[in-house]
Amino acid sequence: MVAVENTHTGIEIGLVRIGSGERCVVIPEGCDNHRGELSLAKEIAHAAKEAGAKIIKFQLHLPDEEMVEREMIKTSGAMFSKWGSLYGFIKENLLSPESHKELMDYCGKIGIQYFCTPFSLKAAEMLRDMGARGFKIGSGETEDLPFIEEAAKMGKPMIVSTGMSTWNEVDLTVAAIKKIGTPFALAHCISIYSPTVTTELNMGVIRDFQDRYGVVVGLSDHTPPEGVKDSSGRRVTQEETIWGAIGAGAKFVEKHFTLDRNAPDADSKFSLDPKSLKELIGTVEAAEEAFGHTRDVLEEERPVWIWAKRSVVAARDIKKGAALARDMITSKRPGTGIRSKDYHSIMGRHAARDIKKGEILNPEDIEGK
């Protein structure tokens, strides 16, 4: 297990800061929902901006750098039968590095931060040379130490997803990145496309990651906008799961994003569309407000506070000059006199007047300090 050390309280991806003291950031994941069309990728970025997002993520694929084609046919052919394999799907739907550079520039012009997942070391090098401000590391590469170590050496802030990974594997990755010293965050992720029941979510891991590694943690979520079901069959909404994630301490939420959930690609069916992305951003803002850390008497509480709190009250008649003892007092509402929390401060002091049983004690009723 990696020793807990708060090496990084946050990361900065361009102008977007994620971490301690910041509001939870929604990261729309455009993935390959652009179907290889640069114009559509730009529309996705623009729609995310219009919905209120500050950052948009895409994926840079170089198929022959990240996959062995013949083996991918064997292992992913059933899941990606329409394209023959994941290799075939990627080949058909990728954006070229040149298109990514144009997309990055476009995002800069419209005022949304470009962010990207490199799926190979060469892709990471290309993104670095383009001027990318950070890397998202996918769950498939979580424990790929040859890649992780070299990518971390580039010094770009990283968000590392953790789907399909054991504690030991995450330990290895965290230790490797901490040794290099690159700022990073972890994303709790379940690599099911998409989860359908609450038992698949394991949101408690968000807090576990924070306690175990001392780094910023968020959620990479593949649940559909319609939500999931609990063990009794009750529908658990997206709003409920997001509130749970933020309550557990998530500082970012990544969700797949598309312009059309009926589009003929692999991910749009469980992705957010512009309307549901805007709703999600509103949900996150509401949850952030509700999970504030203020521990004081709110002005709105004071009408209740005055009658709900308790004062020190005489439990029996007390003669002027009598030294106060514990058996002479009790506590009752309202809290208009000496507060019951302060009763220790008047023990042993003397009554300044005759006090009748049932009277609230006020500061002027007690002699001395």
Q: Strands 16-19 and 10-13: what pairing?
A: antiparallel
Instruction: Tell me the pLDDT of the chain averaged across its residues.
Output: 95
Q: pLDDT tens digits, residue range 20-78?
A: 889 999 999 999 899 999 999 999 999 999 999 999 999 999 999 999 999 999 999 99
- The phi, psi pair for 187, rounded to 5°, reads -115, 115
- Of 89, 110, 88, nearest to 41 by C-alpha is 110
* Domain ranges, residue 186: 10-290
Dihedral Cα 45, 51, 53, 57, nearest 10 deg: -30
Residue 31 belongs to some domain of the structure: yes
Residue with token string 């971490």: 19
156 and 228 part of one domain: yes
Q: What CATH number is attached to the domain comprising 356?
A: 3.90.1210.10
Q: Cα angle at 151 between 145 and 155, to 5 degrees?
A: 130
205-255 tens-digit pLDDT: 999 999 999 999 999 999 989 999 999 999 999 999 999 999 999 999 999
For residue 264, what are its two tokens?
């003929």
Decide which of 256, 290, 324 is a domain's last residue.
290
Q: Would you give the DSSP letter of residue 199?
A: G
Number of Cβ within a 10 Å radius of residue 320: 12
Q: Give residue 155's pLDDT.
A: 97
- Residue 128 sits in the same domain as residue 266: yes
Q: Number of C-alpha atoms within 13 angstroms, CB side, residue 169?
A: 15
pTM of the predicted protein model: 0.87
Band of pLDDT at residue 369, cut at 50, 70 and 90: low
Clarify whether residues 165 and 232 are in a common domain.
yes
- The verdict on 227 and 318 lying in the same domain is no
Residue 341 has pLDDT above 80, yes or no: yes
Q: Taking Cα atoms as reference points, which of 312, 318, 323 lies closest to residue 347? A: 323
pLDDT in tens, 135-178: 999 999 999 999 999 999 999 999 999 999 999 999 999 999 99
Asked if 31 and 120 sit in the same domain, the reply is yes
Which CATH number characterizes residue 177's domain? 3.20.20.70
Specify whether 95 is located in the same domain as 71: yes
134 and 200 assigned to the same domain = yes
Domain termination site, one of 260, 290, 320: 290
Q: What is the pLDDT of residue 264?
A: 86
On whether residue 1 sits in a domain, the answer given is: no
Residue 107: is its pLDDT beyond 80?
yes
Pairing of strands 311-314, 329-332: antiparallel
52 inside domain: yes
* 350 shares a domain with 278: no
Output Rg (C-alpha) for the chain, integer angstroms. 29
Residues 247 and 332 occupy one common structural domain: no
In a domain, 5, yes or no: no
Q: Is residue 3 part of a domain?
A: no
Q: Are residues 74 and 184 in the same domain?
A: yes
pLDDT beyond 70 at 1: no
SS3 assignment, position 189 = strand
Task: Indicate if 153 and 280 belong to the same structural domain.
Answer: yes
**What's the distance, Cα to Cα, between the start and end of the chain in Å?**
55
One domain for residues 152 and 202 = yes
115 belongs to a structural domain: yes
User: Per the domain annotation, does 210 fall within a domain?
Assistant: yes
Domain-ending residue, one of 263, 290, 317: 290
- Structural domain total, the chain: 2
Whether residue 308 lies inside any domain: the answer is yes
Between the CA of residue 99 and those of 26, 80, 89, 135, what are the distances in Å?
24, 25, 18, 18
